[in-house]
A and B are shown apart, each in its own frame.
Chain A
Amino acid sequence: MNDNVLEKLKTLAESAKYDVSCASSGTTRKHTQGSVGSASGWGICHSFTEDGRCVSLLKIMLTNYCMYDCAYCINRRTNDIKRATFSVSELVDLTIEFYRRNYIEGLFLSSGVVRNPDYTMERLVRVVKDLRLIHRFNGYIHLKSIPGASRELVDEAGLYADRMSVNIEIPNETSLKTLAPDKDFQSVYLPMQYIQQGALQSIEERKHFRSAPRFVPAGQSTQMIVGATADTDKDILNLSSNLYQKPTMKRVYYSGFVPVNEYDKRLPALKQPPLVRENRLYQADWLLRFYQFSVDEIVDSSFPNLDLEIDPKLSWALRHPSLFPVDVNLAEYEMLLRVPGIGVKSAKLIVVSRRFGRLSSWQLKKMGVVMKKAQYFITCNELPFHHTVNELTPERVRGLLTKGAKKMNDSQLLIPFQD
């Protein structure tokens, strides 16, 4: 441990930071005698960087040497950046010492591809295996599966990692082929399938033998880059929705494209990353996972892209004014969830507390309902004192709700593609 390690740490963190996955959730594990640490089911963020993203795991690359030349990646072979490689003992020591000081929840290990996918994967597996078996590390481990890695290695890795992920990066194969000539969908989907099969098999085995080993108990995740290709939100969300059908897929992350290789003419020139679009995609993702929306309700061929000015739920509600107003004292939970301004928490509060008596707008406000939005879509004890969306027309409501909002920075709307 010395300044040399500090330099390596900086270089490899710099290379790993564009991976957005950060969650340390999905596994609950108490300490066992002789081991270090535990895992808490909901995940804990230990710090936040100045861009507002959380630091939960020690997100690091084993090496940033890479034989691939993907246009969107900072670590592409042709980039002239500082390269470094950690030794197993350095990485293990850093993880344990950081963990003991409560800096991190665990390790998120990724790597550039050196020699071939299997060689790289084998080295990653060796680190996690050492950490778990020799150093008895019991905290969270998220391991990146290298695209194209063989089944045997994924099967072994799954025994030590809590979560594994393979990044799709680009939502359709033709664009992927253009930007990353060395990759194809096969190399991404196969490891994904191995992980799923391993996990399902382990669940089945554990029904018969309680001591059967767990296999990636926190499931898998993936990530897509937003704004690097001409794909619409419809393409992206349809792909996410399909991925969520898989039993082990827990999260799909969206990463606003940060132009790290500005010289590459295959990529659009952006003044700044498409942060608003990224945010809207996350909101749509939440609608899919927690609000019982289906993907065709959020985007379809007539609305292939999400509205950047208003959130997807409000946008859906304004397209379907005939379903409103909703009576909060009578409506079903599923319908409450669809009201703009009512979230999962407030919908649950409404359902349990309306048994005790009719609810009024001041009570809804205290429960956390955003009345500014919800007032046009609900009736309760005394509402509507305003007109609802039906009398006001959706355009008027839209105008009222976007009035005074900060003017959109149109550098994000403008994506000049060159073909």
Chain B
Amino acid sequence: MLVFRYDKSFEGLLTAVFDGYTRREFPDLLLGEADMPPLFFDEIADIYTDTEKSTRVWNGLKKRMSETALYMLPEVWLSELPEVDMLLFRYIRKTFDSKQSIELNFGDPDVMELTKIWKHVSKERLRVIQFVRFQKTSDDIFFACIEPEYNVIPLVLNHFTDRFHDQRWLIYDSKRDFGFFYDLKKPVEVHLDGKQWDGNGCLNDQSAAEDEKLYQKLWQGYYSSMTIKERINPRLHRQNLPVRFWKFLPEKRK
């Protein structure tokens, strides 16, 4: 059993592909640097992330697949699922070893699995776009806190930069403890220490803008009036609006 150990970054994974082709042998298992090796193995090879190698792999992929399929790869990586690196590794190998692009061969289990994960990630991205709720702070920054299942905040930046290009905003992923701040130029990654919000992502009274509470109340009032009592359907409601987002939504907060 051959084990590759790498730094659990996307570039690292691409480097591992490169090293695999150089060695003409491919790993049965991919490990992070901190992971425990399995009980039995023949060799552990350490992969040192190298941008030159990873760029070559990326450029190679570019020639062999459509742009849509190519950008699926980093998005699938952001799912952060435990086995996803091995899946990507197999997919990339199949792409290199095949004469034509395999991206449409949905009969292949790896292609189907990758597509499925990509759909999950896209769905989560869409949910963040749907359910981010900004609160205006006293210094006119629109702040939102959310905990997506996958690491999708980097994928929503284009949308929010386009839509709210004339307001300063901050979207924070409190599960992964990082976020992006847009200061009217471009979003930059930030990590905040002194938290000014509670577990539900609600701003403290002193940091929220004066009229923030009022607009939340208006929104709550509107939301509850919109329900048609004769048609209540809690199952459909939960399906469309997953419970895990409720604590961040002013309309679902009591």
Residues of A within 8 A of B (CB): 1-2, 5-6, 9-11, 13-14, 17-18, 30-31, 34-38, 40, 44-55, 58-60, 94, 97-98, 100-103, 256, 258, 272-273, 275, 349, 352-357, 359, 363, 366-367
Assuming the A-B contacts A17-B225, A30-B162, A31-B165, are A103 and B107 also in contact, with contact meaning beta carbons closer than 8 angstroms in the complex? no
| Cross-chain contact A49 with B106 (CB below 8 angstroms) | no
Query: How many Å from the CB of A390 to the closest CB on chain B?
Result: 27
Nearest CB of chain B from residue A108's CB, rounded to whole Å: 11
- Chain B residue with Cβ nearest A138: B163
Q: Are A366 and B112 in contact (CB under 8 A)?
A: yes
Instruction: Name the contact of B136 in the complex, choosing from A49, A60, A101 (C-beta under 8 A).
Output: A101
- Taking CB atoms, residues of chain A closer than 8 Å to B130 are 44-47
Residue B46 lies at the interface, judged by CB distance under 8 Å to chain A = no
Q: Mark B216-253, 1 if CB is under 8 A from A, else 0.
A: 01110111111111111111110111000000010100
Q: CA of A6 to CA of B224 in the docked complex: distance in angstroms? A: 12
Residues of A within 8 A of B228 (CB): 17-18, 49, 51, 53, 258
B105 at the interface (CB under 8 A from A): yes
Going nearest first, the 5 A-B pairs with the smallest beta carbon separation are A52-B236, A353-B106, A51-B231, A13-B225, A356-B105
Beyond A44-B130, A50-B233, A52-B236, 13 extra complex contacts between A and B, CB < 8 Å? A5-B218, A13-B225, A38-B162, A44-B129, A45-B130, A47-B130, A49-B226, A54-B240, A102-B134, A103-B219, A353-B107, A356-B107, A366-B109
Tell whether A37 pairs with B163 under 8 Å between CB atoms, given A14-B225, A59-B226. Answer: yes
Q: B240 contacts which chain A residues (CB < 8 A)? A: 45, 48, 52, 54
Name A50's contact: one of B105, B106, B237 (CB within 8 Å). B237
Give CA–CA (A13, B219) in the complex, Å.
Answer: 11
A10 and B162 within 8 A (CB): no
Q: Is B53's beta carbon under 8 Å from chain A?
A: no
Residues of B within 8 A of A (CB): 102, 104-109, 112, 116, 126, 129-136, 142, 144, 159, 162-167, 211, 214-215, 217-219, 221-237, 239-241, 249, 251
22 CB contacts below 8 A, A to B, read A1-B211, A1-B214, A9-B218, A17-B225, A30-B162, A44-B130, A46-B130, A51-B236, A55-B226, A94-B218, A101-B133, A102-B134, A103-B133, A103-B219, A353-B105, A353-B106, A355-B104, A356-B104, A356-B107, A357-B107, A359-B107, A366-B112
User: How far, in whole Å, are A391 and B231 apart by their CA atoms in the complex?
Assistant: 41
Question: Contact at A10–B222, with CB atoms within 8 Å?
Answer: yes
Which A residues are CB-close (under 8 A) to B222? 9-10, 13, 58, 60
Contact B249 A47 (CB under 8 A): yes
Chain A min CB distance to B222 (Å): 5
Q: Is the CB of A100 within 8 A of B164?
A: yes
> Which chain B residues lie closer than 8 Å to A273 at the CB level?
230-231
Q: Are B112 and A367 in touch, CB under 8 angstroms?
A: yes
> What residue of chain A has the Cβ atom nearest to residue B235's Cβ?
A52
Most buried by B among A6, A47, A366: A47
A31 contacts which chain B residues (CB < 8 A)? 162-163, 165-166
Q: How far is the CA of A35 from the CA of B164 in the complex (A)?
A: 10
Q: Which residue of B lies closest to A36 (CB)?
A: B166
A51 to B239, CA, bound (A): 11
- Chain B residues with Cβ below 8 Å from A357 are 105, 107
A353 to B105, CA, bound (A): 5
Closest chain A residue to B165 by CB distance? Answer: A31
Residues of chain B within 8 A (CB-CB) of A100 are 134, 136, 142, 164, 167
Chain B hits for A36, CB < 8 A: 166
Cβ of B219 and Cβ of A50 under 8 Å apart?
no
Measured between C-beta atoms, what is the minimum distance from B55 to chain A in Å? 30
How far does the Cβ of A136 sit from chain B's closest Cβ, in whole Å?
9
Q: How far is the CA of A53 from the CA of B226 in the complex (A)?
A: 9
- Tell me, in angstroms, the Cα distance from A145 to B231 when the chains sit together: 27
Indicate the member of B215, B218, B235 with the most A CB atoms within 10 Å. Answer: B218
Judging by beta carbons under 8 Å apart, are B134 and A272 in contact?
A: no
- Smallest CB separation, B217 vs chain A (Å): 7
Which residues on A sit within 8 Å (CB–CB) of B116?
366
Name the contact of B237 in the complex, choosing from A40, A46, A49, A102 (C-beta under 8 A): A49
CA distance A49 to B228 in the complex (A): 8
Which B residues are CB-close (under 8 A) to A53?
Answer: 226, 228, 231
Contacts of A272 in B (CB 8 A): 230
Smallest CB separation, B152 vs chain A (Å): 15
Least Cβ distance of A41 to chain B in Å? 12
Out of A30, A102, A256, name the residue touching B144 (CB < 8 Å). Answer: A102
Q: A353-B106, A363-B107 are in contact. Are A6 and B134 (CB under 8 A)?
A: no
B218 to chain A, nearest CB (A): 6
Q: Are A51 and B107 in contact (CB under 8 A)?
A: no
Once bound together, how far apart are the Cα atoms of A36 and B165, in whole Å? 8
Contacts of B221 in A (CB 8 A): 6, 9-10, 13
- Tell me whether B142 and A101 are in contact (CB under 8 A): yes
Contacts of B235 in A (CB 8 A): 52
| Residues of chain B lying within 8 A (CB to CB) of residue A9 | 218, 221-222, 225
Measured CB to CB, the closest approach of chain B to A362, in angstroms, equals 9
Of all chain A residues, the one with the shortest Cβ separation from B112 is: A366
The answer to whether A48 and B225 have CB atoms under 8 Å apart is: no
- Kindly provide the distance from the CB of B10 to the nearest chain A CB, expressed in whole angstroms: 26
Closest to B132 in A: A102
Q: How far is the CB of A89 from chain B (nearest CB, A)?
A: 15
CA distance A59 to B232 in the complex (A): 19
